[in-house]
Amino acid sequence: MRCSIQLSFYILLLLSFNCHSHVVEWTYQEGEVDEANWAKKYPLCGATHQSPIDIQKKKVVYNSEMSSFELEGYDGPLHGDFELTNNGHSVQIGLPFTMKIKKGLPHVYTAVQMHLHWGGLDLETSGSEHTIDGMRYMAELHIVHYNSELYGSFDEAKDKPEGLAVLAFLYEDGHFENTYYSEVISKLTTIRYAGQVTKVKILDPLAMLPENLENFYRYQGSLTTPPCTENVLWTVFDSKVILSQNQIKLLENTLLDWHNKTLRNDYRHAQPLNDRVVKSSFRVKMPKGEYSIIK
C-alpha cells in the first residue's frame, strides 16, 4: 500500500515535468544554445558544407544539363487535412506523399512538409536564409523532401547520405494580397502558442510558388537548423514569390516561441561556401557587362 502511494507520487511528478517544461534545445537569438553556439551541442553545425549560403552571382557556374526539372502532384487545389503546426521555430505545413520531385535530381524525392523563415525583429528587417549577392529577402519558403528511392521514410532518410532535397523560394513584398496564402496566414492566430496544431482543408502548392520554375541555383548543403546534417541537395529558385506587406506583417507578428516571445528572425546567417560550387540552370545576368562562368 505504502509502496503504491509512493510510486504514484513519482509518476505524478514525472507527468508534471513532462507537461510544463518543454526543453528548448536551441534558439536563434537568446539562451545558452543560440546560433553562435549551436556547434557546441550539435557538432555538425560547425562543419564545412553548411547552409544557408550567400549566392554570389559572379561565382555561379551555368550548367545546361540542369534544365529537366519536374514536379509531380504539386498542382492543386488539393483537398485534405493538412496539419499546420507552430513548432516554436517556424510554421510548418504537412504535405501529402503524392507530392514529389520526379525528374532533375539524381533520385526521386517525396515531399514531407514546408515551412517558412522570416524577420521582423526590428522595423523592416528581412528574414530569408539564403541571400543573393548579400541581399536578404523578406522571407523564405522551404519545401522539404526525402529520397524515397533509397529510403522508406523521412525519419530513415534524415541523417543518411543523399537523404534530403529542399526547394527554397524567396519572398518579396508587394501591394496585393496573395490569396493562395490567405487560409494559412489567417489560421496563424489559432496556433499562436508553440506546439499548437490546426488543419488546413485546401492547399494549392504549385500556386504558392512563382510561375517561373526554370531558373534556379543548386548546391550541396545542410539542414539550416540543428543538428545541421550535411545531406541536403538545395535548389534555390531565382523568381520570387510576392506577398502583401500586410501578409508579411501577420507572419512576423502572430506566432509565439516556447518562451511566449513573438517568433521573429528565425533564420540562420550565411555559412562559408568553402570548396563548394553553386550551379545554375540559367545564364545568370550580371551587372555592368560582367559574365557568369559557363561550363
Ligand X SMILES: *[C@@H]1O[C@H](CO)[C@@H](O)[C@H](O)[C@H]1NC(C)=O
Tell me which residue of 151, 172, 156 sits closest to 243, measured CA to CA: 172
Tell me which residue of 136, 120, 155, 147 sits closest to 248, measured CA to CA: 120
Smallest gap from Cβ 260 to ligand X, in A, equals 4
Q: Which part of the chain contacts Zn ion (CB under 5 A), choosing from 5-13, 18-26, 136-144, 213-221?
A: 136-144
Q: Which is nearer to ligand X, 3 or 23 (CB)?
A: 23
The amino acid present at 82, given as its one-letter code, is F
Give yes or no for residue 130 binding Zn ion (CB under 5 A).
no
Smallest gap from Cβ 266 to ligand X, in A, equals 17
Q: Which is nearer to Zn ion, 157 or 284 (CB)?
A: 157
CA distance 54 to 9: 54
Which does residue 142 touch among ligand X, Zn ion, none (CB within 5 to 8 A, set by kind)?
A: Zn ion
Chain position whose Cβ is nearest to Zn ion: 142
Q: Which is nearer to Zn ion, 82 or 282 (CB)?
A: 82
Sheet holding 54-55, edge to edge: 54-55, 131-132, 135-136
In angstroms, what CA-CA distances link 286 with 15, 60, 85, 133?
A: 59, 11, 40, 11
Report the relative pairing of strands 61-62 and 293-294 from DSSP bridges.
Answer: parallel
How many amino acids of this chain bind Zn ion (CB under 5 A)? 1
Which does residue 260 touch among Zn ion, ligand X, none (CB within 5 to 8 A, set by kind)?
A: ligand X
**b/e code 270-279 from CB counts within 10 Å (16+ = b):** bbebeeeebb
Q: Interior CA angle at 128 toward 122 and 130, to 5°?
A: 140
211 Cβ partners below 8 Å, 6+ apart?
239
Which does residue 98 touch among Zn ion, ligand X, none (CB within 5 to 8 A, set by kind)?
A: none
Give yes or no for residue 158 binding Zn ion (CB under 5 A).
no
The amino acid present at 160, given as its one-letter code, is K
Q: Which is nearer to ligand X, 259 or 285 (CB)?
A: 259
Q: Which residue from 89, 136, 142, 268 is in contact with Zn ion, where contact means CB under 5 A?
A: 142
Q: Which is nearer to Zn ion, 104 or 127 (CB)?
A: 127
Which does residue 259 touch among Zn ion, ligand X, none (CB within 5 to 8 A, set by kind)?
A: ligand X
- Residue 283 in grid coordinates: 545564364
Note if 89 is an active site residue. yes
Tell me which residue of 82, 105, 80 sits closest to 220, measured CA to CA: 105
Residues engaged in binding ligand X (CB under 6 A): 193, 259-260
Chain position whose Cβ is nearest to ligand X: 260
Q: Which of 49, 89, 115, 142 is catalytic?
A: 89
Smallest gap from Cβ 268 to Zn ion, in A, equals 9
Binding residues for Zn ion (CB under 5 A): 142
What residues act catalytically? 89
